[in-house]
Amino acid sequence: MSAEEVLRANEKAAVEGQIISRVSGKRSKNQKKTGLGAGLFITAILVVFLFIFSSGNMIPTAISERLIEETDVQYADAVQSKILVFQQALSSGDIPDNTTRILKEKGVLVGYVENGEFIENNKSGRESALLYKDKVVLAGDFATAVQADAGLYNAFTAATYSRAAYYYDDSAKQVFREIGTNRNNYTADSDFDEVMGRIVGEGSDIDINNVTLVQKTNERGEKYYVYETVGAAAESNDAATMVASVSGKNTAGTSAEATLNAADQLNKADSISKKQRSERLFVGFMENVSKMKAGEGNESKINEAMNYLYRETESEVVDVSTGEVVTVSGSMLESPSLYAILSGEGVDTAKTSNYSSDRVLKTVENQLGAQAGNGLIQGNVVSSQKGVKGSIGRYVGGGMSAESEVLTKVTQTIDKSLVSNSFETMGGVAGGEMLVEGAVSVGAELAKASGASLGDAMAVTEYARLTSSILALDAKADRLNRSPFDITSKNTFLGSIVYNMAISVSSGSALTQFSSIFRAMGSAVSGILPAVSAEDEAERYLANFGDCKTIGAVGAVGSATCAQIVTFDTSTLNDIFNDPGFVAFVEANTTLDSNGTRKIKPDSALADYIKYNNERSTPAGMMDGGILASVKSGSSSYFVSDILSMVQNLLGASEGEKRMASGAAFVNSSTNGDWETYKYAQRYVSLARATESLRAYADDETAYMNLKYFEGTENPVVAFLNEYYYLANQ
């Protein structure tokens, strides 16, 4: 057998767990030996890889693709929603001309069936069908057929939008505006550190104050009570002063409770700052890789970016278990989370505690030997907006004071997060954790534009399983038209080895790189296996959950560092257009105007979901004062700096309003009674974005305009938000 025949046979045989040995030409059913069997052949050409690595292009590409693949939550649902929309369009018999043309080029005809015969016609006004490889696919069978045949899936993908569409549509542009940056910060003359410093920013503008009930006497000697703030706000311009001030503002029934209340306020300030800065770090860093991959390397600082990634740095962090400052040495690549993503191994969440979004609270809990309950966590009310600006407050009713000496243990953490937090202080292991958190957070924000929400462990794991199946289908389709020797794709046999080796060479020591070669070969074999199981998902980064108190308070799970994980409900992917619950939800929450355009009712449950889940700016699990104000007044101004009004709204809010403000109402969980309603809101938002993307790709304003529940030429969700914010600013 020739070398190419061996590798092509290996790709095909991998789905059956069999690899052909170059030495014997026979099949082996022992997958543990497949890496070695393939390795005997591949070793002869490893010298070629050294040349590839010397180009410097493969390593950043491998790193970026691995990082994005693990954290791009929106993709699998985008594919599934696209399939649902297209199936519905087949049912209505109106497939756009451009889409039909591309399908035909790929061997798929659009038409209808009459008297048992297929007739080619994409504008028949009757239910359409497809003809592929002499087999007719009826509209009702399309969703099953397209996922069962890689060739049909490949043609369908070519004729409709690809993964990149969800990074550059109007919804994505709005997400990046909210993050506070864009994708074009660098030019050939840019200085890497200077631009990153500007993107990430320096210092955080977060104030903390509390509210108490004060007795007053009027001129007639009558006593009355008013709410007042407790002195001046604690501003985040000096860590020691801020910690001491927050400590002095907190009292409760016991000193431990007061201390935990203060720690929770500081924890929320830290979380807001860390989330926003990590998002900007990720976007700024990845711009260089993206430009290089797009052939615009001269307009990037890819070499400087990669040097920053490799740079060995000493950084100081607070050990949450002891409260002591420890020095951590290493590069960003050696951070627990980034290493786990690049290696494909499970992350050790014990090693990420010092970088967790709940690190302040955990440090204080360990010092006190006392745990904060859900009531304490939800007692704070917060508000934040882009640019790392926030306000945090709570009601205090007197009693014991917080233990200031315990809170001093988190001063270093607060300093690094809120005060001395310029780009110059990042890097090393801590920087690697920030980069991953940024990837997770940006992925979450992009997915929220499609309706994604927080989920419990079961929901996240179930969706991760779907994601793996879609990625496997993508890989299988990608291999159809590629040689096994094609190293530009990580989906081919040799390409997979190159990508795995690129990771090993970039992050491993000389001693470990030899063994990494054989691990890479094994990974290449497993990488082309389409099988998906819960066990497989145990190794995916977003299926490894941290000990997340803030997010856990609303019944959701977070990443290893407690960044928010958003997910989609897979139960709404089955024939949704004929689901009685979905039909009833859409009819109750939308209307058709006189022009035949679908509109979202402004005071509906769907409107609430869009405003208070999709558009939420405060990190999940926090009681958002802006949302409380909006629920009560109908205003769209989420950021509220008046702590007095925030706390008063919190004290006067109903349980339902509090669940909206904390995000608890929107958690994808079987224990959340509200989800039975909001799961349909999520699906509607997702289908709306899919329809918009299909319409844009068809380059036809009238494409899909008669699609049931999405009639018209605009995205109902985007149209609703445009009108909502326009009216709010009048």
CB neighbours of 84 closer than 8 A, spacing ≥ 6? 143, 573, 576, 577, 687, 690
User: Which residues make beta-bridge pairs with 216?
Assistant: 224
Separation between Cα atoms, residue 63 and residue 314, nearest integer Å: 23
Which of the two residues, 536 and 389, has the higher pLDDT score?
389
Taking all residues of the chain, what is their mean pLDDT, rounded to a whole number? 85
Q: Is 76 exposed, middle or buried (0-12, 13-18, 19+ CB in 10 A)?
A: buried
**3-state secondary structure string across 568-636:** CCHHHHCCHHHCHHHHHHHHHHEEECCCCCEEECCCCHHHHHHHHHHCCCCCCCCCEHHHHHHHHHCCC
- Determine the pLDDT at residue 680: 98
- pLDDT band at residue 699 under the 50/70/90 scheme: confident
- Determine the pLDDT at residue 403: 94
- Determine the pLDDT at residue 506: 57
- Determine the pLDDT at residue 501: 67
Query: What's the distance, Cα to Cα, between the start and end of the chain in Å?
Result: 74
pLDDT digits (tens, 9 = 90+) for 135-150: 999 999 999 999 999 9
Structure tokens of 336? 């627990």
Q: Are 283 and 170 in contact (CB under 8 A)?
A: no
Whether 727 has a pLDDT exceeding 80, the answer reads no
Separation between Cα atoms, residue 63 and residue 290, nearest integer Å: 11
Say if strands 389-393 and 205-208 run parallel, antiparallel, or are unpaired: parallel
Q: Across 12-16, 25-29, 697-701, which has the greatest mean pLDDT?
A: 697-701
Which of the two residues, 293 and 28, has the higher pLDDT score?
293
C-alpha distances out from residue 39 to 279, 302, 499, 521, Å: 40, 32, 15, 6
pLDDT digits (tens, 9 = 90+) for 219-274: 898 999 999 999 999 999 999 999 999 999 999 999 999 999 999 999 999 999 99
- Determine the pLDDT at residue 377: 61
* Mean per-residue pLDDT, 325-338: 93
**3-state secondary structure string across 479-526:** HCCCCCCCCCCCCCHHHHHHHHHHHHHHHCCHHHHHHHHHHHHHHHHH
- pLDDT band at residue 590 under the 50/70/90 scheme: very high
Whether 538 has a pLDDT exceeding 50, the answer reads no
CB neighbours of 49 closer than 8 A, spacing ≥ 6? 497, 498, 501
- pLDDT band at residue 525 under the 50/70/90 scheme: very low
- pLDDT band at residue 15 under the 50/70/90 scheme: very low
Please report how many Cα atoms fall inside a 13 Å half-sphere around the Cα of residue 408, on the Cβ side: 3
Whether 55 has a pLDDT exceeding 90, the answer reads no
Which of the two residues, 138 and 13, has the higher pLDDT score?
138
Q: Positive or negative, the Cα torsion across 668, 669, 670, 671?
A: negative
- pLDDT band at residue 509 under the 50/70/90 scheme: very low
User: Which residues make beta-bridge pairs with 558?
Assistant: 564
Whether 460 has a pLDDT exceeding 80, the answer reads yes
Question: pTM above 0.85?
Answer: yes
Which of the two residues, 275 and 13, has the higher pLDDT score?
275
- pLDDT band at residue 8 under the 50/70/90 scheme: low
Separation between Cα atoms, residue 91 and residue 581, nearest integer Å: 20
Supply φ then ψ for residue 131, to 5 degrees: -120, 120
Separation between Cα atoms, residue 445 and residue 167, nearest integer Å: 11
Question: For 80-84, 227-231, 277-281, 345-349, which range has the lowest pLDDT when averaged over its residues?
Answer: 345-349
Whether 524 has a pLDDT exceeding 80, the answer reads no
Whether 728 has a pLDDT exceeding 90, the answer reads no
Whether 54 has a pLDDT exceeding 50, the answer reads no
Q: Are 321 and 353 in contact (CB under 8 A)?
A: yes
Whether 587 has a pLDDT exceeding 90, the answer reads yes
pLDDT digits (tens, 9 = 90+) for 263-302: 999 999 999 999 999 999 999 999 999 998 888 888 899 9
- pLDDT band at residue 122 under the 50/70/90 scheme: confident
CA angle, residues 263, 264, 266, in degrees to nearest 5: 65
Separation between Cα atoms, residue 19 and residue 525, nearest integer Å: 8
Count helices and strands in the chain by DSSP H and E runs: 32, 20
pLDDT digits (tens, 9 = 90+) for 294-306: 888 888 999 999 9
- pLDDT band at residue 536 under the 50/70/90 scheme: very low
- Determine the pLDDT at residue 10: 52
Percent of the chain past pLDDT 70, that is, above it, reads 84
Structure tokens of 3? 């070398």
C-alpha distances out from residue 288 to 33, 166, 168, 712, Å: 39, 19, 17, 39
